């Protein structure tokens, strides 16, 4: 992250890009969920993207420990990896759902499962702009604002990553 102040023009461009991405990503995901590509078998993907969520959660803890130990460059690098993993997760998740029918949860804990699933989905939409704005503040060198936002961002992102794994564990016995 650059500790030099970004020009107001660059900051405005970054903010606009974050807002556009935060709107387009959920819309594109919804649209792509309606697209079905027959004859392609990506049924192997759910354990992979659940593992990616698990790695993201572990790395978020590592990033937190790194910054608490004043290892800023390590923290920065781990966060960049988390962002890439989250992007990879999204791509694999969409690819799976474009080629497979949704799996119905048939277990006894339906209320728990759907509570976790719905909160996971809703917060995954919220976490995109929150993570990107938090990152932007650090990139600007505005570490006071970055730290303030991180108090919200980290728990949200960690929740989304860990509940992604929990949702997989709960639904995996019912995959076709």
Give tens-digit pLDDT for 150-162. 999 999 999 999 9
Mean pLDDT of the chain: 94
Each residue of 25-60: pLDDT tens digit?
Answer: 999 999 988 888 999 999 999 999 999 999 999 999
In a domain, 3, yes or no: no
Note down the domain range covering 72: 42-174
Average pLDDT over every residue of 57-80: 98
92, 29 contact by CB (below 8 A)? no
Give the pLDDT band (50/70/90) at residue 3: very low
Residue 25 included in any domain: no
Q: What is the rounded CA–CA span in Å between residue 27 and residue 49? A: 20
Residue with tokens 């900051």: 11
Q: Is 142 inside a domain boundary? A: yes
Q: Which residues contact 94 (CB under 8 A, 6 or more apart)?
A: 29, 32, 33
**151 domain-assigned:** yes
- Give the integer Cα–Cα distance in Å for 34 and 92: 16
- The whole-number pLDDT of residue 4 equals 56
Instruction: Establish if 10 belongs to a structural domain.
Output: no
Inter-axis angle of helices 110-140 and 72-99, to 10 degrees? 140
pLDDT score, position 58: 98
Give the mean model confidence (pLDDT) for residues 63-77.
98
Does the residue 16 lie in any domain?
no
Rounded distance between C-alpha atoms, residue 109 and residue 130, angstroms: 31
123 belongs to a structural domain: yes
Whole-number percent of the chain with pLDDT over 70: 97
Q: Enter the pTM of the model.
A: 0.91
pLDDT exceeds 80 at position 5: no
What are 114-141's pLDDT values in tens digits? 999 999 999 999 999 999 999 999 999 9
| CATH number of the domain enclosing 65 | 1.20.120.80
Specify the number of domains making up the chain. Answer: 1
CA 68 to chain centre: 22
Q: Is residue 12 part of a domain?
A: no
């Amino acid at each position: 992250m650059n500790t030099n102040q970004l020009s107001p023009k660059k900051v405005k461009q970054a903010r606009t890009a974050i807002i556009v991405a935060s709107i387009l990503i959920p819309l594109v995901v919804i649209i792509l969920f309606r697209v079905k590509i027959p004859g392609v078998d990506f049924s192997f993907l759910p354990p992979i993207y659940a593992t990616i969520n698990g790695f993201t959660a572990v790395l978020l803890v590592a990033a937190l420990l790194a910054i608490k130990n004043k290892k800023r460059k390590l923290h920065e690098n781990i966060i960049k990896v988390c962002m890439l993993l989250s992007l990879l997760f999204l791509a694999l998740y969409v690819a799976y759902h474009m080629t497979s029918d949704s799996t119905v949860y048939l277990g006894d804990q339906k209320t728990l499962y759907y509570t976790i699933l719905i909160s996971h989905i809703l917060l995954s939409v919220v976490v995109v702009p929150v993570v990107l704005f938090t990152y932007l503040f650090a990139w600007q060198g505005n570490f006071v604002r970055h730290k303030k936002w991180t108090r919200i961002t980290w728990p949200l992102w960690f929740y989304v990553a860990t509940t992604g794994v929990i949702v997989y564990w709960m639904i995996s016995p019912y995959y076709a």
